[in-house]
Amino acid sequence: MDLERIVNEYGDALLRMCFLYLKDHAMAEDAVQETFLRAFRHQDDFQGESSVKTWITRIAINVCKDMLTDPWARHRSGEDLPDEATPEPSFSSEDRYVISGKIANLPPKYKEVILLHYYQELKLSEIAEILGESEATIKTRLKRARDMLRSELKGVFDDE
């Protein structure tokens, strides 16, 4: 397994996902580092039953969850969301900031599916595998997450 290629190929996307998950840039950087350390330590355990992207993303999600259960992490405040946190090019930087903030404030199980589907561009089946849930559950969570975001963003973009 070529870990250097994995770092180069997935590092930026994992950093954005971890940042939105953790709401803190320094913690996101730490999470990505820890993700790659765990991947290095457990590279022999990778059986190829899923894609490398699915495997490394699952590790990153677990690292983020671990960090959020740490009492120190719960007391740290989030930073401002960077403009590049959302890859959608048709939005202004102010719009991206608003959308990223709304995503970051979703409950974890809904934030996960949004991040994995739209930011990591994973299929429902891959998300289900990563989260250990059925595809039907993931589809339902994605719909509920979209509904929550639509509700939160109502009035923000209505004047356009």
Tell me the per-residue pLDDT of 20-29, one tens digit each, with 9 for 90 and over: 888 888 999 9
Under the banding of pLDDT at 50, 70 and 90, the label for residue 72 is low
Which CATH superfamily hosts domain 3-153?
PhyR, sigma-like (SL) domain (1.20.140.160)
Domain ranges of the chain: 3-153
Q: What is the pLDDT of residues 129-160, one digit of tens each?
A: 989 999 999 999 999 999 999 888 887 665 44
What percent of the chain lies above the pLDDT cut of 90? 39
Q: What is the pLDDT of residue 160?
A: 46
Degrees to nearest 5, angle at CA 101 with 150 and 113: 65
**Rounded CA separation 128/41 (Å):** 24
CB within 8 Å of 44: residues ≥ 6 apart:
none
Strand extents, DSSP E, the chain:
none
